[in-house]
Amino acid sequence: MPSPQLAQIYARSENRVIGANGRIPWRLPDDFAHFKRTTMGRPIIMGRKTYEDHESALPGRLNLVVTRDGSYQAAEGVEVVACLDQAMARAGEASDLAFIIGGVGLFEQTFDRVQTVYETVVHAEIKGEAVLPVFNFEGWQRNVLEEHPVDDRHAFAFTILRWDRSPVAHGGA
């Protein structure tokens, strides 16, 4: 089975929170537009709790939900898989690139295999129970895609970064 290239995409606060009370703790339409633009047409792989934040298929993308609950039922257009390897195999049938879209456990479990990370840093300190560990981006290439100010639709400023693992950091020659 072909394995797709993997990327991660997330938004985190300065203190590394990505979720509070099972939800994303901010509403930033222009970051959501970036998420949609970046992932459109690609398989998206998510943990069961991330799926339950919206409980419907995100359109235009193969939606894969990972759970250990063998009887889990998801909405129409969402496929349930038992483990990450199964998610990767299914994603590889559909595309050569797939996105891990959360939550914390999935980001942790896949960091060593991703080539690219789209990281939005929300310039705020937020309270929440879903907290990302510090990933080691040493040797990765860092690009700033956008610096977004506070405006009437965005309560927080944010920076959208793209990190690419260099061949050397990946262990290549």
Ligand X SMILES: NC(=O)c1ccc[n+]([C@@H]2O[C@H](COP(=O)([O-])OP(=O)(O)OC[C@H]3O[C@@H](n4cnc5c(N)ncnc54)[C@H](OP(=O)(O)O)[C@@H]3O)[C@@H](O)[C@H]2O)c1
Using rule CB under 6 A, residue 132 touches ligand X: no
> Please, what's the b/e burial string for 84-120 (b: 16 or more CB within 10 A of its CB; e: otherwise)?
beebbebbbeebebbbbbbbbebbeebbeebebbbbb
Residue selected from 23, 27, 36, 170 as contacting ligand X according to rule CB under 6 A:
23
Contact status: 47 vs ligand X (CB under 6 A): yes
Instruction: Tell me if 117 contacts ligand X by CB under 6 A.
Output: no
Q: Does 68 bind ligand X (CB under 6 A)?
A: yes
Residue 84 lies near ligand X (rule: CB under 6 A): yes
**Residue 48 interacts with ligand X (CB under 6 A)?**
yes
Of 57, 99, 103, 160, the one binding ligand X by CB under 6 A: 103
Residues in the interface with ligand X (CB under 6 A) total 27
Instruction: Report the alpha-carbon distance of residue 159 to residue 173 in Å, rounded.
Output: 32
For residue 134 the two structure tokens come to 């510090």
Footprint on this chain of ligand X (rule: CB under 6 A): 10-11, 18-19, 22-24, 46-50, 53, 66-69, 83-84, 101-106, 109, 130
